[in-house]
Structures are given as structure tokens and as C-alpha cells.
């Protein structure tokens, strides 16, 4: 059971908190899921997933942001992650992302979570512009970004996968 008192952000159906080292089982359930990581460069070994968890925790300490773990407000069930992470720090670029467990797909949860994370990034963190990308075949992610108001900028190599991905941006309103 996650510590519900530590939720720092809520949307109608979801609550966000930050990752801790005790969340290794949740991280493995998400980033060890082949359907989730199919277009993210997976499959990932357990040690790689734990490295990713450590990096998320470090990002929160350094930048006050990460791909936060997200839980259903009705029963505190872990659903996935959504948030912001450094993309190209030398250019002060931060990217939006969302990874949900397959049983939660198709319910509008990623869109809802992304809307909350974007508002938090602009209003609470004071970011002026957000970036996002997706695997060229991930039309669901493309659709979500366009619904959120992101605009296509250019295709560029995405460092985590080495693939040419479309890059989008959204400026603070």
C-alpha cells in the first residue's frame, strides 16, 4: 500500500507521489512489462530497471521532477507513471512522458495524468516549455500529445533508443 499521505498532485481519478527505493517491485512490474516497454527500447533487465528507479529518485532531488508513480484514487492501486524528466540538459530541455500498465489502457488515464503533469510543470515548477516525443509507430502517444496541444517540431535521434523519433513542444500558455 503506497503512503497515501505523500500524494502531492491529484487529477479526478489519479494521485501522484514520488518514487522511493522501496518501490522496486512497482518499478519492476511496470518497466519489466514487455507490452509497456515494446516501443521504449525494452525489454529491460531487472538491474537496468533498478538503475532507472535510482535515476528517477535522483531527478526528483536535483530538478524536483521525475516520471512520478501514479495511483488510482479509488483504491490506491499502482497504475503507471507520468511526469517530466531531463531530455537535453545542455539546452534546458525537459520531456513529458507516460507509461501505464496494460490493464489501465484505453480509459483516458494517460491523457488525464499528462494534463495534470503539464499543468504542474508550468504552474508549480515554472517551466516555460515542455518537449515530448514518441516512437514513430506509437500513434496513441502521438494522438495524446496532439490532444494536449503539443506541436510537431522535427524528427531527431532519441538517445535512450537511438531511433529517429518525432519531437514535439508545448509552451506555457
Ligand X SMILES: CC(C)(COP(=O)(O)OP(=O)(O)OC[C@H]1O[C@@H](n2cnc3c(N)ncnc32)[C@H](O)[C@@H]1OP(=O)(O)O)[C@@H](O)C(=O)NCCC(=O)NCCS
Name the site residues for ligand X (rule: CB under 6 A). Answer: 36, 39-40, 97-100, 105-111, 134, 138-141, 143-144, 147
C-beta closer to ligand X: residue 109 or 127? 109
User: Least distance to ligand X from the beta carbon of 107, Å?
Assistant: 6
User: Least distance to ligand X from the beta carbon of 164, Å?
Assistant: 15
Q: Exposure of 161 by Cβ count < 10 A (0-12 exposed, 13-18 middle, 19+ buried)?
A: middle
C-beta closer to ligand X: residue 143 or 172? 143
Residues 6+ apart with CB under 8 A from 146: none
C-beta closer to ligand X: residue 1 or 159? 159
Residues 6+ apart with CB under 8 A from 133: 95, 156, 158, 165, 166, 167, 168
Contact 14, 3 (CB under 8 A): no
User: Least distance to ligand X from the beta carbon of 144, Å?
Assistant: 5
Which residue's CB atom is positioned nearest to ligand X?
A: 110
Cα gap 143→136, rounded to integer Å: 12
C-beta closer to ligand X: residue 23 or 166? 166
Cα gap 111→106, rounded to integer Å: 10
User: Least distance to ligand X from the beta carbon of 36, Å?
Assistant: 5
Amino acid at each position: 500500500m503506497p503512503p497515501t499521505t505523500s500524494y502531492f498532485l491529484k487529477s479526478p481519478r489519479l494521485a501522484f507521489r514520488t518514487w522511493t527505493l522501496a518501490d522496486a517491485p512497482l518499478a519492476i512490474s511496470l518497466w519489466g512489462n514487455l507490452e509497456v516497454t515494446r516501443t521504449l527500447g525494452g525489454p529491460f533487465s531487472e538491474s537496468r530497471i533498478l538503475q532507472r528507479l535510482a535515476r528517477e529518485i535522483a531527478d526528483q532531488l536535483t530538478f524536483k521532477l521525475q516520471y512520478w508513480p501514479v495511483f488510482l484514487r479509488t483504491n490506491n492501486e499502482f497504475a503507471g507513471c507520468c511526469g517530466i524528466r531531463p531530455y537535453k540538459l545542455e539546452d534546458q530541455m525537459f520531456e513529458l512522458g507516460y507509461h501505464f500498465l496494460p490493464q489501465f489502457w484505453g480509459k483516458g488515464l494517460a491523457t488525464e495524468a499528462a494534463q495534470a503533469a503539464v499543468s504542474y510543470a508550468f504552474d508549480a515548477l515554472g517551466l516555460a516549455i515542455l518537449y515530448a516525443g514518441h516512437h514513430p509507430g506509437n500513434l496513441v502517444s502521438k494522438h495524446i500529445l496532439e490532444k494536449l496541444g503539443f506541436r510537431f517540431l522535427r524528427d531527431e535521434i532519441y538517445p535512450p533508443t537511438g531511433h529517429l523519433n518525432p519531437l514535439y513542444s508545448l509552451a506555457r500558455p
